Amino acid sequence: MKIATTRDEALALDAQDPLAKARAQFKLPDDVTYLVGHSLGPPHNAALEKLNHCAADSWAKGLVGSWNSAGWFDLAAKLGGKLSGLIGAKPDEVMVTDTVSVNLFKLAASALPLTQGTRQICVDAEEFPTDQYIAQAFAELTNVTCRRVNPGEDFNALSEGGIYIKSAVNYRSGERVNMRAYEDKAQESGALILWDLSHATGVIALDMKAVGAKLATGCTYKYLNGGPGAPSFLYAEKHLLPELHTPLPGWMGHAAPFEFDGQYRPREDAARFASGTPPILSLSALEGALDAFEGLDMKALEAKSGALGDLCIARAQDIGLDVMSPREASKRGGHVSLKVENGYPVTRALHAKGFQSDFRTPDTIRFGFSPLYLRYVDVWDLMGALAEIIETKSWDAPEYHARSKVT
């Protein structure tokens, strides 16, 4: 697709955009351009409707009977099936449950006995901190080696076996991983990869089957717009499932929970990883949020997100900014990271102009390009505002230097 070189050309791209109608399904303030790629996507109208109905009707009127009448008991597994299509998995291989942190630990404990080679858990030295913390804590509890892998040493670590925690899309740079190549290497050594799909699901076309992925987890509150603190999901390949034994068995993952059996018998599908009672209000919002993806081709979403990123990169280069993300859209996830001196106050100055984005210490500004509600003209105007802020040094106002708790 041609990259816009004027605002009018950006508007023309929007007029031809087959995904343009999806924007109206989201509730966003009129004066905000939302480019946040971390912990919270905006609410989908269906998510708010489902949440309100669950609270005001199913909970307030149906009370405990809604576990049956409103389908609460099966909701987490149902949403796992709904989400499975977005990652190229089978419905019974995906379960919505817990958090990414908890699921990484459960998968690591389940996978370790099945690995060959060195008893180790590997994680990139530049991986998202949570993934590193879980790897270290797991290693200490199980008396295995925790290996933090430096850039370029991935395949050397994989060739030694064990477990490898790896993000499909790097949280800082946006670099996309060749998952097939990693899985092929793991197959050779008997290693198992735990994929973190948090920065990939909902914005790029994933296919767990095609790449040979066995295990994964990911969040639902970024590009899936599930809401603040929305539960995570867990994927386990069907043929591997019978060999996976969760370290946190709960009655919701029991084959017959209402028999109240004192001995744990896991379900046959991914729901065996369920632990405690699921957060129904959050699940109801997620159910509505996933409606936004019904009937959509993930390749089309990936193509638009890539094109939005291409426009951002082209204008960033015109401004003279350092681009930390891959230039080629096929090698990039849904966000673009720029290295900007005084990045934090610059993001606050952008916020004051209505452009909300991420800051990652020490000097990274990150723009998340969700294809469902962002327009080409939004990106054009964003980069114009960024150029003006840097040129005029308006970012150097005292109020923009004061750090918020969440950046």
Please, what's the b/e burial string for 186-206 (b: 16 or more CB within 10 A of its CB; e: otherwise)? beebebbbbbbbbbbbbbbbb
The per-residue DSSP string of 323-366 comes to E-S-SSGGGB-SEEEEE-TTHHHHHHHHHHTTEE-EEETTTEEE
Catalytic residue among 26, 105, 171, 221: 221
Strands 94-96 and 233-236: antiparallel
Catalytic residue among 26, 34, 105, 128: 128
Say if residues 51 and 225 touch (Cβ distance below 8 Å). Answer: no
How many C-beta atoms lie closer than 10 Å to residue 22's C-beta?
A: 18
C-alpha 355/C-alpha 349 separation (Å) is 9
Answer yes or no: 363 catalytic. no
Catalytic residue among 222, 267, 304, 315: 222
Answer yes or no: 196 catalytic. yes
Longest dimension (CA), the chain: 69
C-alpha 44/C-alpha 27 separation (Å) is 6
Helix (H, G, I), strand (E, B), or coil: what is residue 247? coil
Structure tokens that stand for 221 in this block: 């509150």
Q: Which amino acid is at 153?
A: E
Within 215-297, where are the H helices?
280-290
Catalytic residue among 166, 348, 366, 375: 366
Listed residue (28, 17, 36) closest to 335, CA to CA = 36
Structure tokens that stand for 182 in this block: 């990693």
Roughly how many angstroms between the first and final C-alpha of the chain, as a whole number? 33
Calculate the CA dihedral of residues 305, 308, 314, 221 and round it to 10 degrees. -60
What's the burial of 384, exposed, middle or buried (CB within 10 Å: 0-12/13-18/19+)?
middle
Catalytic residue among 14, 124, 131, 196: 196
Residue 151's DSSP bridge partners are: none
Structure tokens that stand for 145 in this block: 């080696």
Answer yes or no: 119 catalytic. no
Listed residue (404, 381, 379) closest to 35, CA to CA = 379
C-alpha 214/C-alpha 217 separation (Å) is 11
Catalytic sites, residue numbers: 128, 196, 221-222, 366
